[in-house]
Amino acid sequence: MAARFTGRPVTGERRLSGTLAEVTLDDGRVVMVKRGDGDRAAQAEAAGLRWLAEAGTVRVPDVHGHDGQWLVTDRVTTGRPGAAAAHRFGRDLAALHATGAPAFGAAPPGGPQDAYIGLAPMRNVTGPDWPRWYAEHRVLPYLRRAVDDGTLRGTEAPVIERACERFPELAGPAEPPARLHGDLWNGNVLWGADGHAWLIDPAAHGGHRETDLAMLHLFGCPHLDRILEGYQEAAPLAAGWTDRIGLHQLFPLLVHAVLFGRGYAEQALATARALPRTR
């Protein structure tokens, strides 16, 4: 696949996992070859990377091509995270979000409606109203699957269902659809040797910009305070955004409950119970 999509002979390969390899080309470049879970996974990731790159803000690796299960991209040469790079990343992330999307739930151009977040299916179905769209297409599908799988008890589901009913009052001021990475945990932010942050493995779609930031909070990120400082300088967040972090974390927590089990289900329940009360 690497030779086919780069047009260069392959001289070496290093397996990183069962689904990922570094492949060396005859001109010395190294590319990443990734096997996805079916054609839609490779198609979705390629479309997402190209959509993020099109914004010209945060750096993303170039896509050489995809075919069936396989995706070939450039490799990012990594370095160490630094405060200056984090501040720059915050400003660039704000600019990425500001490039926008046609609608909440909009897939990247050329991307499938039935996409993925990690190994979990994710449907890109559009809607005009973020709180209701978020409940219907980002929270409740994973709640139902967690219950069906036995990860979350049926008697516990109403805790999250009641939270969903409150989303319109908890969501804060209305915002236009942002261009999201969509799976922005620390592992998908690479700190390049060039002094820039790079984004990989997106579940890109149109959404609320606070969702990306909430995921950075959920799983931690080096120099997060500097990232937020840069973001706020470029595009200040609406008042009370820190009170909404838990609201935006329900989606990734339930995805992780589906993929990784009961511990994340308990965390999702605790987050739903801790959502602020409004008058």
pLDDT (tens digit, 9 = 90+) per residue, 118-170? 999 999 999 989 999 999 999 999 999 999 999 999 999 999 999 999 999 99
Domain that holds residue 101: 77-273
Asked whether residue 252 carries a pLDDT value surpassing 60, the answer given is yes
Provide the percentage of residues in the chain whose pLDDT is more than 70. Answer: 99
Answer yes or no: is 30 within a domain. no
CA distances from 200 to 1, 213, 242, 249, 250 (A): 19, 16, 26, 20, 22
Confidence label for 3 from pLDDT (cuts 50, 70 and 90): confident
Other CB atoms closer than 10 Å to residue 221's CB: what's the count?
Answer: 23
Alpha-carbon torsion angle 253, 240, 59, 11, nearest 10: -20
User: Could you give the 3-state DSSP secondary structure of residue 156?
Assistant: coil
Per-residue model confidence (pLDDT) at position 231: 98
Confidence label for 1 from pLDDT (cuts 50, 70 and 90): confident
Confidence label for 32 from pLDDT (cuts 50, 70 and 90): very high
Answer yes or no: is 56 within a domain. no
Confidence label for 115 from pLDDT (cuts 50, 70 and 90): very high
pTM of the model: 0.95
Answer yes or no: is 10 within a domain. no
Asked whether residue 183 carries a pLDDT value surpassing 60, the answer given is yes
Q: Which range among 42-51, 118-127, 130-139, 270-279 shows the weakest confidence by mean pLDDT?
A: 270-279
- Catalytic residue numbers, as ranges: 183
Confidence label for 111 from pLDDT (cuts 50, 70 and 90): very high
Per-residue model confidence (pLDDT) at position 18: 82
Average pLDDT for residues 58-65, to the nearest whole number?
96
Answer yes or no: is 124 within a domain. yes
Answer yes or no: is 91 within a domain. yes
> Count of domains in the chain?
1
Per-residue model confidence (pLDDT) at position 6: 81
Average pLDDT for residues 220-249, to the nearest whole number?
97
Cα–Cα–Cα angle for 229, 100, 40, rounded to 5 degrees? 110
Answer yes or no: is 217 within a domain. yes
Confidence label for 195 from pLDDT (cuts 50, 70 and 90): very high
Asked whether residue 84 carries a pLDDT value surpassing 80, the answer given is yes
Average pLDDT for residues 230-236, to the nearest whole number?
98
Judging by beta carbons within 10 Å of its beta carbon (0-12, 13-18, 19+), is residue 12 exposed, middle or buried? exposed
Average pLDDT for residues 22-28, to the nearest whole number?
89
Mean predicted lDDT score pLDDT of the chain = 94
Rounded to whole angstroms, how far apart are CA atoms 125 and 138?
Answer: 10
Asked whether residue 279 carries a pLDDT value surpassing 60, the answer given is no
The enclosing domain of 150 has a CATH number of 3.90.1200.10
Could you identify the residue written with the tokens 């790159």?
53
Task: Please state at what angle helix 209-219 crosses helix 245-260, rounded to 10 degrees.
Answer: 60
Answer yes or no: is 105 within a domain. yes
Answer yes or no: is 63 within a domain. no
Asked whether residue 244 carries a pLDDT value surpassing 80, the answer given is yes
- Per the model's pLDDT, the better-predicted residue between 12 and 199 turns out to be 199
